[in-house]
């Protein structure tokens, strides 16, 4: 069962991923972990405030399911706003079709996202069609360029989350380039 706090965190994340705006304050509580697997939200609900800790398990799954609701509505994603430079990012690589930038919540010493500049229906890999073959190849080649630029060409991982069961939280196809530490198998 999803708690009110989990639902509030999911709603906040869903609003952020679809509009790029945070409608409530976000802060880190000194008593809670600030590592990559937790996000602390302070949201207003009438006159009361709730401090919610979104963990990398249940709450992340709830946020992914919430994001999937608006996956194909055509609204700009946070990535569209990064592409248009409305939201700043640490760009690692850019060409006319692909943009790569550092993830704001890295799970490895090197964690870069590689995205197509034009979605063209590619909200997730499961929506890929024959006509997307060229951009899919360019995304993988860009991942290789990123690995070289970041000094991890001898060992890196490329991850694509597809749909809510894989915890995809932004419905704009993206590759995670991960490295800079020993990767383990199996992942997940």
Name the residues annotated as catalytic.
174
Distance of CA 18 to the CA centre of its chain: 12
3-class DSSP assignment, residue 42? strand
CA distance 53 to 33: 9
Structure tokens at 51: 């401090």
Report which of 188, 17, 18, 11 is spatially closest to residue 107, judged by C-alpha positions.
Answer: 188
In degrees and rounded to multiples of 5, residue 50 shows phi and psi of -120, 135
């Amino acid at each position: 069962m999803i708690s009110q706090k989990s639902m509030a965190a999911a709603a906040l994340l869903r609003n952020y991923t679809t509009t790029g705006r945070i409608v409530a304050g976000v802060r880190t509580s000194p008593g809670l972990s600030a590592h990559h697997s937790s996000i602390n939200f302070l949201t207003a609900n009438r006159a009361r405030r709730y401090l919610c800790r979104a963990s990398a398990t249940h709450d992340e799954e709830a946020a992914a399911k919430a994001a999937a609701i608006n996956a194909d509505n055509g609204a700009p994603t946070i990535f569209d706003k990064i592409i248009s430079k409305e939201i700043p990012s640490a760009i690692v690589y850019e060409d006319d079709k692909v943009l790569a930038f550092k993830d704001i919540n890295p799970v490895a010493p090197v964690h870069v996202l590689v995205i197509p500049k034009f979605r063209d229906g590619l909200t997730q890999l499961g929506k890929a069609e024959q006509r997307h073959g060229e951009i899919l190849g360019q995304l993988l080649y860009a991942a290789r360029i990123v690995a070289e630029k970041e000094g991890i060409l001898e060992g890196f991982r490329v991850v694509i989350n597809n749909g809510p069961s894989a915890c995809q939280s932004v419905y704009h196809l993206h590759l995670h380039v991960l490295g800079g530490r020993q990767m383990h198998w199996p992942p997940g």
